[in-house]
Amino acid sequence: MADKIAEMLTPVGTKAEVKIVYQTIENLHLACPNHKGDWYFSGNYPTPGGNKVVNDAFINYIEGSENKTYQFKLTFKNAND
């Protein structure tokens, strides 16, 4: 499977060999012992806010919403106001 993914992700004309390498979460912790931010890979979100963000993003995706989980409305004042 890794070879097929590498084939699909390699741009046409690339001369370098592309390999996909997988790392277990346990080995990720061993390789980066002082960095516990594995939530992207493990789904173990460290805060209730992180859980809310991922849940909102999933709901937006399922509903086809264009709202972004972190969407801010910017309003600018005219310097002459």
For the segment 31-74, what is each residue's pLDDT rounded down to a tens digit? 888 876 777 778 777 677 777 888 888 888 888 887 766 655 55
Q: Which of 36, 41, 45 is nearest to 69 (CA)?
A: 45
Sequence-distant (≥ 6) Cβ neighbours of residue 29 within 8 angstroms: 36, 38
Confidence (pTM): 0.41
pLDDT of residue 4: 94
For the segment 4-17, the average pLDDT, to the nearest whole number, is: 94
pLDDT of residue 49: 76
11 band by pLDDT with thresholds 50, 70 and 90: very high
